[in-house]
Amino acid sequence: MRVTTLGDLLLDVVVRLEAELIPGDDRPALTRVAAGGQAANVAAWVAALGESARFVGKRGADPAGELVTRELAGRGVEVCGPAAGRTGVVVSIAAAGERTMASDRGSAPDLSATELEPPWFDCDVLHVAGYSLHREPLASASTRAAELARDRDARVSVDLSTWSAIDDAFRERVRALRPDVVFAGERERDAFGALATEWIVKRGAAGVVVDEIEHAARDGDVVDTTGAGDAFAAGYLVGGVTLGLDAAARCCSQLGAMP
């Protein structure tokens, strides 16, 4: 199985709080800094599950870009795409099993269709992060990537990523991809509306719904839910629901989104 992902490769700063933040005061925390970004996370989990993974995207030509590229490549992922500008940073605050994120995508949305190389999309599945469809030129690059992948008989999947940014332009861009599989949270699916595809609805601790069939989440201690949906997507794409749920549980048992 060969999976190519398209989207962001960012610097992930995960903060696990021991108590709620108080404005203007300090709180103890456990922190972790690593490579991140939805598309990068999915690629890393694909590789960790023993399959071939390639990430395509633009990252910064700066020390942070070198760090995240080295880490992702060290996890067995082929990293493709230009380095220019600055690397984005995502701060994820984990508390009580939930996470809140603040995102700065840096130069990631600046990837253009003319910067894509057809061999990058010689794969069995192209997975597009929904964040890639919010801004140009990356949105048009995503459409072109889907065309290149389909030229090689690949399937296309997309994760809607966030419900609050779904608008008519986003819906049109998703439909232009003609996705075979769509991953979404319940609020994301409700916000998006109808689409003839295979829907994978992620429900956190309640598990997932696949083709209207409910599947319970795995039991286990939850340390941090950051990246659990990305781990599930990787597992589902390479091995179906069971592997997806196993990967999500593994992700939740540790701090951070990478395997």
Render pLDDT for 75-104 as a digit per residue (tens, 0 to 9).
999 999 999 999 999 888 877 656 677 889
Q: What is the pTM of this model?
A: 0.92
Q: Where are the alpha helices (DSSP H) in 116-185?
A: 138-150, 168-177
Q: CA-CA distance, 59 to 12, in Å (whole number)?
A: 13
Give residue-wise pLDDT tens across range 96-127: 656 677 889 999 999 999 999 999 999 999 99
Give residue-wise pLDDT tens across range 27-85: 888 888 899 999 999 999 999 999 999 999 999 999 999 999 999 999 999 999 999 99
> Is the distance from CB of 236 to CB of 244 less than 8 angstroms?
yes
Mean pLDDT on 234-242? 97
What residues contact residue 165 under an 8 Å CB cut-off, 6+ apart? 134
Q: CA-CA distance, 37 to 142, in Å (whole number)?
A: 16
Distance between start and end Cα atoms, the chain: 19
CATH, range 2-8+37-86+108-252? 3.40.1190.20
Q: CA-CA distance, 182 to 201, in Å (whole number)?
A: 8
Which pLDDT score is estimated for 211? Answer: 83
> Is the distance from CB of 125 to CB of 54 less than 8 angstroms?
no
Which band of pLDDT confidence, cut at 50, 70 and 90, is reported for residue 140?
very high
User: Above 70 in pLDDT, residue 157?
Assistant: yes
Give residue-wise pLDDT tens across range 163-219: 999 999 999 999 999 999 999 999 999 999 999 999 999 998 899 999 889 999 998
Which pLDDT score is estimated for 257? Answer: 82
Which residue from 40, 51, 47, 60 is spatially nearest to 1, judged by alpha carbons?
Answer: 51
Mean pLDDT on 219-234? 89
Neighbour order of strands in the sheet with 10-17:
29-36, 10-17, 87-95, 98-106
